[in-house]
Amino acid sequence: MKDIKLTDSEKKLMEILWEKKRIFMKDILDSYPEPKPAATTIATLLKRMQNKDLVGYKLYGNSREYYPKVEKGEYFNEEMTSMIDRFFNSSVTQFASFFTSNAKLSQKQLKELRDIIDQQIEE
């Protein structure tokens, strides 16, 4: 997956698509809280996301059923990698150091992280 940036509006829409898997425009609009965005706004976002190859659709008569073309985990992984590249000079160690010293983690959480790391080392 190439490095693709989503706007906040696009991320909200992708969250709906990831949750629903396949969804029609009316149902997308119904998924938003009040005040709901205009249908034209959602159509514009969907078009932009299709151009980024993140969203596809299947035509049923005049209706389009939209679906995500990228998994949430894959997108999240790409976002994390990009953030680590930008802010920590591609150093996961620098990121981990920053995260553990600034996240105000409890002793229990730090031990859980250590256990995860130990498990990865064993594998």
* 77 lies in the same domain as 98: no
Query: Which has the closest alpha carbon to 22: 48, 60, 53?
Result: 60
* 59 lies in the same domain as 104: no
Taking a C-beta distance cutoff of 8 angstroms, is the pair 43, 57 a contact? no
Q: Give 2-32 pLDDT, tens digit per residue.
A: 557 788 999 999 999 999 999 999 999 999 9
Predicted TM-score of the model (pTM): 0.72
User: What domain count does the chain have?
Assistant: 2
* 53 lies in the same domain as 96: no
* 36 lies in the same domain as 74: yes
* 63 lies in the same domain as 100: no
Q: Give 58-67 pLDDT, tens digit per residue.
A: 999 999 999 9
* 1 lies in the same domain as 51: yes
Question: Looking at residue 5, which CATH number applies to its domain?
Answer: 1.10.10.10
* 63 lies in the same domain as 118: no
What's the domain range around 102? Answer: 91-123
Q: In what order do the strands lie in the sheet with 23-24?
A: 23-24, 63-68, 55-60
* 51 lies in the same domain as 95: no
Q: Give 98-107 pLDDT, tens digit per residue.
A: 877 877 878 8
